[in-house]
Structures are given as structure tokens and as C-alpha cells.
Structure 1
Amino acid sequence: MRLENDDIRKIVNGDEFAFNRFMEHYSSRLYHYAFALLGQKEPAEEIVSDVFFEVWKNRKDLEQINNMDAWIQTITYRKAISFLRKETGKCDLLFDEIGEFIFDPVQSPDEEMISKEEIARINEAIQQLPPKCKHVFFLAKVDGLPYKDIADILNISVKTINNHIAFALEEIAKNLNLVLRKK
């Protein structure tokens, strides 16, 4: 399902059916992202619900948003950080202090081209990445966000994003080569 500008216009005008389509479009992705940050089902569900409440409250401004994916991801990230701050009691929790990032296994739409065993090896290689690197990799390669948007969401530089992605790809390739050599 793809959201059209017309859907956004309808949401701005208070159309609840269009908003339901909006929620259907984003809910799964945002839940997986929140769960990856928090590692807890109920708080992740609450955060996604809060995100949609925030979107509905600010619906009049939706047409001014250039990149809806990045904007909604940023809201989710900030709400997850707020939750973690409350849980840990740290007021200055930053990207560098996020604990484990739980990366759901990647599902391949090209099952015929990539075997389940290869998918499992790729997922295992991804799981071996450090949490922050895994987080950046998730946003860039799974959610497909531009590096600039990721930098804005995480409040780190584009150069740092590039470094995380380069490291991730290098480590995944190394990990896959090691697995292949063992066979």
C-alpha cells in the first residue's frame, strides 16, 4: 500500500478512514522499530499508539512535511528515547547510550533467488553487528531512509552514518565469507 498526497490532504481535513490507511501503512514498521529500540512488546505498542496520536493532533501541518517516512520515524525515535529516559532515570540519554538494538530477521521477497539458508546467514551476520551500527543499518537498509534523515533522527553526522554503514557491510561480508569457507 502506498500513501498518496490525496490521502494526506484527507487526513488534514479530518478524514478518519484516510488516517486508518495511514496507520495501516506505518504501524508494522514503527512497531518493529520501537521494539528494536526498547526490546519490550507493550511499551513498543504504546509508543506507536502515541506516535499516531501525535500525528492526528498535528494533522493540519502534515502537508508541509517533505519526508513523511523520516518525520514519523523521528517521532518514534524520540518517544522511545523519552521512554528509556523515564525507565533509566537518565535525563541525557543519547544515541550512544542505547543498549541492544534488536534486529528482526530480514524477510526476502525474492525467496526463489535467495535460499532460506542464505537469508539465515545474512541475518546472523547482521546480528553480530554492534547495537548502534545495527540501528543505523536498520534505518538505512531496511527502512531505506536517506543518510541525511538518519543523521537528523539520531542527531549524529552523515559521516558517522557512512562509517557505520561501511563497517556494517564490511563485517557482514567478512562474516559471510567465514561461513562460506567453513563449508
Structure 2
Amino acid sequence: MSEIQIITKDQIEDLFHANYKNLCMVAVRYVDDLDLAKDLVQEFFVYLLNKQEQIQLRTSFEAYAVRSIKFTCITYLKRQKGKIIYQSDNLPETAFDPFGLIEDENLKTETYTKLNTALKNLPTERRKIFLMSNVEGLTYAEIAEINGISVNTVKTQIKKAYATLRTELFAKTLIALILFLKKGN
């Protein structure tokens, strides 16, 4: 059985300096906004400072902090759920061709337009789930938790999104989409 560790107020400043940067990197992975990530990490340390006498760690502080930041970010995203709707100006910039698959600039523009149109034509919730998975890099479980749906619903929506995109796009465009979306993961 693990030894229980209690954090003192004197340790919190040292823990802040030792872990702040890494925790910000964890948070930015979820919220995709550095300033927001910094705010959430700072809020975690304020919470820690206010509740430190009630917190008993059974793992390392680093593991506890990473898990806390993850859930803080997921909670934040849940609260923002009603406000997040991917519109045309929020779609990923897919004109970027990281693997040089499309040499002709006109073809690149045409491909981007077709892809953007196909993404816009997806039902709103399906598009949101698809982009959360493929652009934001969230896991199916994270998407399910944020949206208050089951993991199977997430899988089904992503599968249907790919099927729709496959029928609407040329094979070369779909390959470019998949390679582009997976480059960040």
C-alpha cells in the first residue's frame, strides 16, 4: 500500500515552480489555448493552496497534478460545450499540404474548397465530434465525456463522418485529409 503524502503550504510554491511548465503543456493539449491553459493551471494551484489540508496523496504529486489538470480541462470544455459549434471560419486550414502530395496550387485550392464544403455539409454534432477527434486529437472517451454521450456514439459518428466524406471527395483528397489530420497526432 502506498504511503500517504500531505502537502504543506510551504511546499506549494516549490511544486508550482517545478511543475508549472509541464502542467501548462498538459492543459494546452486539451484546450488548445496557451493563455487559457496557464489560467487553468494557476486555478489548480490556488485550489491546492486553499484545500491543501484536505488533500492526501497516494501517488506522486506529478501524477496527481496531471490527472487534476486533465479533469479541470475536461470540466471546462463541458461547460463550453453549448458554445462550441464549428462553423466555416473554425474549420482547420487544410490548404496546407505537409507531405507535398498536391503540387498544383489550383488543385490545392480546389481540394481545400471541396474538403471545406464536405465538412460543412456534415450534421453539426457529427462535424464537431469528427473535428474533436481528428483536429484536436481528443480520445473517444474524452469526446464522450465532454459531450455527455457514450464512446460507441462517438465511434459511430466518426465512422459516419468518414463514410460521408469518402463519398463526397475524390480518393486523393481523402488521402490528403487523413495525412494532414494525423500529422499532429
TM-score (norm 1): 0.55
Question: After TM superposition, which residue ranges in structure 1, 4 or more long, deviate above 6 angstroms?
Answer: 65-69
Which of 144, 159, 163 is the aligned partner of 2:156?
Answer: 163
Work out whether residues 70 and 145 of structure 1, in 8 Å CA contact, stay in contact via their aligned partners in 2.
Answer: no
- Cα deviation, 1:71-116, whole Å, max 9, x if unaligned, reads 35413313314xxxxxxxxxxxxxxx66733333244461512463
Report the equivalent of 2:91: 104
1:169, CA displacement in angstroms?
A: 0.7
Output the CA distance in 2 between the equivalents of 1:148 and 1:21: 23
Work out whether residues 99 and 131 of structure 1, in 8 Å CA contact, stay in contact via their aligned partners in 2.
Answer: no
Query: What residue identity is the alignment partner of 1:146?
Result: T
TM-score (norm 2): 0.54
Q: Name stretches of at least 5 consecutive residues in structure 1 with no aligned partner.
A: 1-10, 33-44, 82-96
Which of 31, 40, 57 is the aligned partner of 2:46?
Answer: 57
**C-alpha spacing 1:134/1:170, structure 2 compared with 1 (3 Å):** same
**Count of aligned pairs between the two proteins:** 144
Query: What residue identity is the alignment partner of 2:46?
Result: K
- Cα deviation, 1:16-61, whole Å, max 9, x if unaligned, reads 47524643675486256xxxxxxxxxxxx7x666534433335686
Work out whether residues 134 and 168 of structure 1, in 8 Å CA contact, stay in contact via their aligned partners in 2.
Answer: yes
Q: Name stretches of at least 5 consecutive residues in structure 2 with no aligned partner.
A: 1-11, 49-54, 56-60, 174-185
Query: What residue identity is the alignment partner of 1:110?
Result: P
User: Within 5 Å, which residues of 2 pair with 1:2-81?
Assistant: 13-16=14-17, 18-20=19-21, 22-23=23-24, 26-27=27-28, 30-31=31-32, 50-58=39-47, 63-64=63-64, 71=71, 73-81=73-81
Work out whether residues 12 and 62 of structure 1, in 8 Å CA contact, stay in contact via their aligned partners in 2.
Answer: no
Output the CA distance in 2 between the equivalents of 1:120 and 1:74: 32
1:176, CA displacement in angstroms?
A: 1.2
Higher relative contact order (CA 8 A, sep 6+): 2
Report the equivalent of 2:180: none
Work out whether residues 86 and 128 of structure 2, in 8 Å CA contact, stay in contact via their aligned partners in 1.
Answer: yes
1:142 is the counterpart of 2:142:
no
Percent of pairs with identical residues = 18
Which structure has the greater CA radius of gyration?
Answer: 2
Output the CA distance in 2 between the equivalents of 1:56 and 1:109: 41
1:125, CA displacement in angstroms?
A: 1.8
**C-alpha spacing 1:30/1:66, structure 2 compared with 1 (3 Å):** closer
Work out whether residues 40 and 72 of structure 2, in 8 Å CA contact, stay in contact via their aligned partners in 1.
Answer: yes
Output the CA distance in 1 between the equivalents of 2:124 and 2:26: 27
Output the CA distance in 1 between the equivalents of 2:72 and 2:97: 25
